[in-house]
Amino acid sequence: MEKNFVDYVKICCRSGAGGSGYVHFHRDKKTAKGGPDGGDGGRGGHIIVRGNKQLWTLLHLKYRKHILAEAGQKGGNALCTGADGKDEILEVPIGTIARDFETNKVLFEIEEDGQEMILAKGGRGGKGNAFFKTATLQTPRHAQPGEEGVEEWKVLELKLMADVGLVGFPNAGKSTLLSVVSAAKPVIADYPFTTLVPNLGMVNYRDDKSFVMADIPGIIEGAHKGKGIGLRFLRHIERNSILLFMIAADSKNIIEEYKILKNELRQHNPELLDKRRVIAITKCDMLDDIMLKQMKKEVPTDKNPGNTKVPIVFISSVSGFNIQKLKDVLWQELNE
């Protein structure tokens, strides 16, 4: 999965140049010196990005560093316009963002299957000499050259779409939870940054219902500035319906850890905090009843959009403690 999952590619796009206009005068067996009838050149090929719901990674573009579109054909006689250059179409998953590499400006986002957007525009075809005929200039002997295509570096980034996004420090138990509630098989080990790529899992709920959960690689303090590997994956959280904040029961300060996680999301994109949130205190199999009772007094208090209290669930993915309760809470929040 890690080798096959690619969510960032940088490509050099060169659109097609427009065809040149044609200089020609009408001739036939009845007309020795006819008027200008040179046609226009064809448009250069665009480089187009198209959404494809069957794709889930940008792997197929990883080794295509240069994307070239065809040039337009020159115009012909008898007012014939040259053929347009063939467009180069790049199929991408839903949720792909296109950026300009130089300015980092977001150009567009692909949100629907079949949606098409122009990434690099082809050059316009030049006008033939027939275009320049006027009342005072009856025999123009010039035509326009075609417009050059553009050559620019672009970046394509993928944002995964899931119902529930898991947010937490490394070793908070995100991958373990996903492996318990779905058929996903993320790598699980007792060291930070075990998860190097996002994992998606389908969570089965009551009465054959289901929802999608995404395990995002761990965030650390300063992730929005590029520390750790969180910055690269924070964008995946943007397309999740609700955020499940996961904090381990053995954390030194649960409230402070929650504040740090919220701050990293705020620094990356303030709109992330407009999403509904649920807090899960993980690894509760390490606590006895007395410790669990005490910990319930030391959890964060927060409000969701709509001024409702953020639900808190104590769970253990290892023992299965409160896993069904967590599913119930998540389902309820998804349907709010």
The whole-number pLDDT of residue 336 equals: 76
Place domain 1-158 in its CATH homologous superfamily.
GTP1/OBG domain (2.70.210.12)
Residues, the chain: 336
Among positive and negative, which fits the CA dihedral 301, 211, 97, 157? Answer: positive
The whole-number pLDDT of residue 197 equals: 62
Sequence-distant (6+) residues with CB within 8 A of 228 are 170, 193, 218, 219, 220, 222
CB atoms within 10 A of CB 254: 19
Q: What does pLDDT average to over the chain?
A: 86
The whole-number pLDDT of residue 4 equals: 60
Res 160 pLDDT > 80? no
The average pLDDT across 227-251 equals: 75
The whole-number pLDDT of residue 247 equals: 93
Percent of the chain with pLDDT over 70: 89
The whole-number pLDDT of residue 124 equals: 97
The whole-number pLDDT of residue 29 equals: 86
CB 119 within 8 Å of CB 9: no
Q: List pLDDT tens digits, range 98-140.
A: 999 999 899 999 999 999 999 999 999 999 999 999 999 999 9
pLDDT band (50, 70, 90) for residue 298: confident
**Mutual angle of helices 174-181 and 323-334, in 10-degree steps:** 90
pLDDT band (50, 70, 90) for residue 220: low
The whole-number pLDDT of residue 1 equals: 42
Q: List pLDDT tens digits, range 70-79.
A: 999 999 999 9
CB 311 within 8 Å of CB 303: no
Q: Percentage helix, strand, coil, to 5, in the chain? A: 20, 25, 55
Sequence-distant (6+) residues with CB within 8 A of 2 are 187, 196, 197
User: Among 54-68, 196-210, 261-275, 307-321, which is the least confidently predicted range?
Assistant: 196-210
The whole-number pLDDT of residue 238 equals: 79
Residue 1: C-alpha distances to residues 8, 132, 198, 307 (Å): 15, 60, 9, 40
Q: Where are the domains of the chain?
A: 1-158, 164-334
Q: List pLDDT tens digits, range 45-71.
A: 999 999 998 888 898 998 899 999 999
Q: List pLDDT tens digits, range 8-51.
A: 899 999 999 999 999 999 988 888 888 999 999 999 999 999 99
* Pairwise CA distance, residues 123 & 20, whole Å: 10
The whole-number pLDDT of residue 221 equals: 61
Res 278 pLDDT > 80? yes
* Pairwise CA distance, residues 214 & 119, whole Å: 29
Q: Does domain 164-334 have CATH number 1.50.10.10?
A: no
Res 161 pLDDT > 90? no
Q: List pLDDT tens digits, range 166-201.
A: 888 887 888 889 888 887 665 444 444 444 566 778
The whole-number pLDDT of residue 223 equals: 44
The whole-number pLDDT of residue 92 equals: 95
The whole-number pLDDT of residue 200 equals: 77
Strands across the sheet containing 116-120: 88-92, 47-51, 116-120
C-alpha distance across the termini of the chain, in Å: 33
The average pLDDT across 88-94 equals: 95
Q: What is the DSSP letter of 156?
A: E
Sequence-distant (6+) residues with CB within 8 A of 29 are none
* Pairwise CA distance, residues 317 & 177, whole Å: 5
Q: What is the DSSP letter of 193?
A: T
